[in-house]
């Protein structure tokens, strides 16, 4: 019995997914676990600590403050910061984090900060843009990038990397293959000009699943670790790590013509039993799930969300379901995946998972 809204986090499933990814990559390929955004909405510190015991080689976060939290909790594994903001560069040094440098602005300003702190050969990661057009140097800037790096003794390149634009999309295979080819040529050019060995990495989870040929020295996996592989064949061996559960706070019987919730968005066409749940858009169930778009499970039966989603509550139709106040309700779990729940509202597991707010209690289980 859950007693309140909880996000259940299954560490055995996490371990299973890491093992599965390890089986898919070559023996000497390193595994970087992406733990940005509270480890995809779960709990970055606990997840990173657990993954550290599994011997994951690297972590990545998006922002510097996310990395600081992990270091404060005692995480020792190298941490790549994917999207650092120059205003926080001093924290990179204080907390032994490793920046992605993706522009001349970030490269020059980080080299300066490291230099003025008396650092030498501080580990940095250089990002190239191969088609996503989000962050990264152009391949045509490579020579100038190397010149700047060589002129700055304060930094040394640990890795060069890029990011795929459509690795999960089978209609874009030729685009992805062109990105792999372009990245390979960048790495060769970079190595010959830089003269020191550097790690190379390109893939996210779907890269690993769909393209065996371009794993290079490391892969960066997020969603796979949390149990989703973005394939639609329904045969995934990845196990969803989190389950979102709540309880029934109150049940009302309403008559034909009566309404439910704000703006009277649901009006009963017959006598209905309506259950109110202590979870709303402030917990991460957005308004797009209202008015029948989202359905939940009560004792294995599906029950639609009726009316508008409130900040702290949703109402569901349990007319056909034998249930009472205090009973458990499942929003998503292994059976109704976050991918499926999100899909009903035309969004993706990533958005649903990372949107589960911090006020939802996290509960760790193994099974």
Ligand X SMILES: *Cc1c(COP(=O)(O)O)cnc(C)c1O
Among 48, 97, 111, 223, binds ligand X (CB under 6 A): 223
Q: Indicate whether 41 belongs to the interface with ligand X (CB under 6 A).
A: no
Is the CB of 207 or the CB of 284 nearer to ligand X?
207
Q: Indicate whether 221 belongs to the interface with ligand X (CB under 6 A).
A: yes
Is the CB of 162 or the CB of 308 nearer to ligand X?
162
Q: For ligand X, what does the binding mask look like between residues 168 and 207, x meaning CB under 6 A?
A: ------------------------------------xxx-
Provide, rounded to whole angstroms, the least separation between the CB of residue 185 and ligand X. Answer: 20
Does 36 qualify as catalytic in the annotation? yes
H/E/C letters for each residue in the chain?
CCCCCEEEEEHHHHHHHHHHHHHHCCCCCEEEEECHHHHHHCCHHHHHHHHHHCCCCEEEECCHHHHHHHHHCCCCCCEEECCCCHHHHHHHHHCCCEEEECCHHHHHHHHHHHHHCCCCCEEEEEEECCCCCCCCECHHHHHHHHHHHHHCCCEEEEEEECCCCCCCCHHHHHHHHHHHHHHHHHHHHHHHHHCCCCEEECCCHHHHHHCHHHCCCEEEECCCCCCCCCCCCCCCCCCCCEEEEEECCEEEEECCCCEECHHHCEECCCCEEEEEECCCHHHCCCHHHCCCCCEEEECCEEEEEECCCCCCCEEEECCCCCCCCCCEEEEECCCCCHHHHHHHCCCCHHHHHHCCCCCCEEEEECC
Q: Choosing from 36, 127, 245, 272, which is the catalytic residue?
A: 36
Q: Indicate whether 297 belongs to the interface with ligand X (CB under 6 A).
A: no
Q: Indicate whether 34 belongs to the interface with ligand X (CB under 6 A).
A: yes
Provide, rounded to whole angstroms, the least separation between the CB of residue 82 and ligand X. Answer: 5
Give the phi and the psi of residue 23 in degrees, each rounded to 5: -65, -25
Q: For ligand X, what does the binding mask look like between residues 224 and 263, x meaning CB under 6 A?
A: x---------------------------------------
Q: Indicate whether 219 belongs to the interface with ligand X (CB under 6 A).
A: no
Q: How many residues bind ligand X (CB under 6 A)?
A: 12
Provide, rounded to whole angstroms, the least separation between the CB of residue 208 and ligand X. Answer: 8
Q: Indicate whether 274 belongs to the interface with ligand X (CB under 6 A).
A: no
Among 125, 163, 245, 272, binds ligand X (CB under 6 A): 163
Is the CB of 108 or the CB of 354 nearer to ligand X?
354
Among 67, 222, 280, 294, binds ligand X (CB under 6 A): 222
* Residue facing ligand X at closest CB distance: 222
Residues that bind ligand X (CB under 6 A): 34, 36, 82, 163, 204-206, 220-224
Residues annotated as catalytic are: 36, 262
């Amino acid at each position: 019995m859950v007693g309140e809204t909880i996000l259940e986090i299954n560490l055995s499933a996490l371990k299973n997914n890491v093992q599965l990814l390890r089986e898919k990559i070559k023996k000497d390929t390193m595994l970087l676990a992406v733990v940005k955004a509270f480890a995809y909405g779960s709990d970055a510190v606990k997840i990173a600590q657990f993954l550290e015991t599994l011997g994951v080689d690297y972590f990545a976060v998006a922002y510097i403050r996310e990395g600081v939290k992990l270091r404060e909790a005692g995480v020792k594994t190298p941490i790549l910061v994917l999207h650092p903001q120059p205003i926080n560069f001093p924290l990179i040094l204080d907390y032994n984090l490793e920046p992605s440098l993706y522009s001349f602005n970030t490269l020059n300003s980080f080299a300066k900060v490291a230099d003025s702190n008396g650092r030498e050969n501080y580990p940095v990661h250089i990002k190239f843009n191969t088609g996503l057009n989000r962050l990264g140097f152009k391949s045509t800037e490579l020579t100038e990038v190397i010149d700047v790096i060589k002129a700055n003794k304060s930094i040394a390149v640990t890795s060069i990397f890029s990011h795929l634009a459509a690795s999960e999309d089978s209609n874009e295979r030729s685009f992805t293959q062109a990105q792999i080819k372009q990245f390979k040529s960048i790495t060769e050019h970079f190595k010959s000009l830089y003269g020191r060995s550097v790690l190379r990495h390109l893939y996210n989870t779907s890269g690993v699943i769909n393209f065996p040929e371009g794993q290079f020295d490391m892969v960066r996996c997020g969603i796979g670790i949390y149990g989703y592989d973005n394939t639609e064949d329904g045969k995934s061996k990845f196990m969803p790590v989190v389950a979102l559960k709540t309880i029934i706070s109150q049940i009302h019987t309403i008559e034909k013509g009566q309404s439910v919730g704000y703006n009277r968005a649901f009006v009963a066409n017959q006598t209905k039993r309506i259950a109110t749940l202590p979870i709303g858009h402030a917990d991460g169930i957005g308004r797009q799930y209202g008015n029948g778009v989202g359905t939940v499970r009560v004792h294995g039966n599906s029950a639609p969300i009726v009316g508008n989603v409130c900040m702290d509550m949703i109402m569901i139709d349990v007319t056909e379901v034998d249930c009472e106040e205090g009973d458990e309700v499942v929003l998503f779990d292994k059976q109704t995946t976050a991918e499926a729940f999100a899909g009903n509202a035309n969004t993706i597991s990533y958005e649903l998972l990372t949107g589960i707010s911090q006020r939802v209690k996290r509960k760790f289980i193994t099974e």
